[in-house]
Amino acid sequence: MIRNPAAETKTLSQRADELEEHMMHELDCIITKSVLFNMGDGKVEIENGPALLARNPGKFMLMGADPRLPRMPEKPTLLVYFRCRFASTAHLLQSATHALKAGLDEKIVLACLLHDIGVVSFIRADHGYWGAQMIEPYVDEEVSWAVRAHQALRFFADESVGYTYPEIYVKFFGPHYRPEPFIVAEYERARKHKYYMSARMITVNDVYSFDPKAKVDINDFTDIIGRHFRQPKEGLGLDNSPSSHMWRTIMWPTRFL
Ligand SMILES: [Fe+2]
Ligand SMILES: [Fe+2]
């Protein structure tokens, strides 16, 4: 049999589109994709409202919870996001466990626990910056500063604490990859900052290889979260902090507006 990979790909993507179309008809509301989601598929596109309405007569745009995603309670907490919106938590829990076993300050343990929430809930690119911004209103400035700075520091060795350039980065990015100039500049600024070592500890405890035997549990960290993460009484994402919209978007990512 002669196979045509290009045709197969086309068929597969057509099938995915059909499935999406089918699912949309099954749901009683119109679920939309933002430009960012489409850019992930290599398309700078957005479907306009009237076209969507015309294809879905009698239905309205989704303006709240997406019924396909895990249901969140009325007043979600950080732990709820861990359970319902973080695609993977093993790396975070292992890194925090590492920091806990090393006897580090609780604030650093929290920073390790949250350092990659940008990746697991939102977007990989610039994840340290996104993650720091998400938590900034709810944690001590040392914690969010450290999460932000780990974005740059992980590319640079610090022999004083035994941190070397991660071997996995050579595999990920190739041997010739060099960080962008803005990352180099960020690193140089961070080195002189009073919280440098807090951010450095994130990189030291960043566990790059997942150990399937390691026993990790978010419940081991509920006390530390309770002491160092200011949970808003309205629910995370429903309060009026400067980053609540980010949590809300993660809670309800497919709202029309
Ligand atoms: Fe990271
Ligand atoms: Fe990490």
Do 38 and 138 lie in one domain? The reply is no
Provide the pLDDT for residue 55.
Answer: 93
**199, part of any domain:** yes
Residues 52 and 142 in one domain: no
116 and 242 belong to one structural domain: yes
From CA 66, how far away is CA 64, in angstroms rounded? 6
**Domain total for the chain?**
2
Q: Are residues 93 and 202 in the same domain?
A: yes
CATH, residue 217? 1.10.3210
Q: Please, which residues have CB less than 5 A from ligand 1, an ion?
A: 116
Per residue in 79-129, pLDDT (tens digit) is 999 999 999 999 999 999 999 999 999 999 999 999 999 999 999 999 999
Residue pLDDT, tens place only, 122-178: 999 999 999 999 999 999 999 999 999 999 999 999 999 999 999 999 999 999 999
What lies within 8 Å, CB to CB, of 218 at 6+ separation is 79, 82, 83, 89, 93
User: How sure is the predictor about 2, in pLDDT bands with cuts at 50, 70 and 90?
Assistant: very low
Same-domain status, 97 and 136: yes
- Paired residues of 217 in beta bridges: none
Position 4 pLDDT exceeds 50: no
**Ligand 2 centroid to residue 133 C-alpha, Å:** 17
Question: Residues 26, 148: one domain?
Answer: no
pLDDT at residue 212 greater than cutoff 80: no
The tokens describing 40, both together, are 């992930």
Is 71 within a domain? no
Q: What is the mean pLDDT of residues 184-205?
A: 98
pLDDT of 11 reads: 67
146 C-alpha to ligand 2 centroid (Å): 12
Half-sphere exposure of 58 (CA within 13 A, CB side): 5
Residue 15 confidence (pLDDT) above 80: no
pTM, two decimals, is 0.89
The pLDDT of residue 75 is above 90? yes
Amino acid identity of residue 30, one-letter, is I
Q: What was the pLDDT predicted at 25? A: 58
Q: How far apart are CA 78 and CA 253, in angstroms?
A: 17
Task: Write out the two tokens for 104.
Answer: 């580090």
Q: Which domain holds residue 22?
A: 5-61
Mean pLDDT of 43-68: 95
The band of 195, judged by pLDDT with boundaries at 50, 70 and 90, is very high
Residue 249 CA, ligand 2 centroid: distance in Å: 23
Higher pLDDT, 6 or 9: 9
Query: Residue 191: what pLDDT?
Result: 98
DSSP string for residues in 199-253:
HHHHHHH---S--TT----GGGGHHHHHHHS---TT-TTTS-STTHHHHHHHHST
Is 69 inside any structural domain? no
Measured between alpha carbons, how far is 252 from 234 in angstroms, rounded to an integer? 16
C-alpha of residue 172 to centroid of ligand 2, in Å: 14
Q: From the CA of 208, which ligand is nearest?
A: 2
Q: Could you tell me if 196 and 147 lie in one domain? A: yes
Q: Is the pLDDT of residue 77 over 90?
A: yes
In a domain, 70, yes or no: no
Q: Strands, E, within the chain: which ranges? A: 29-30, 60-61
Centroid of ligand 2 to alpha carbon of 126 (angstroms): 13
Q: Which ligand is nearest to the CA of 128?
A: 1
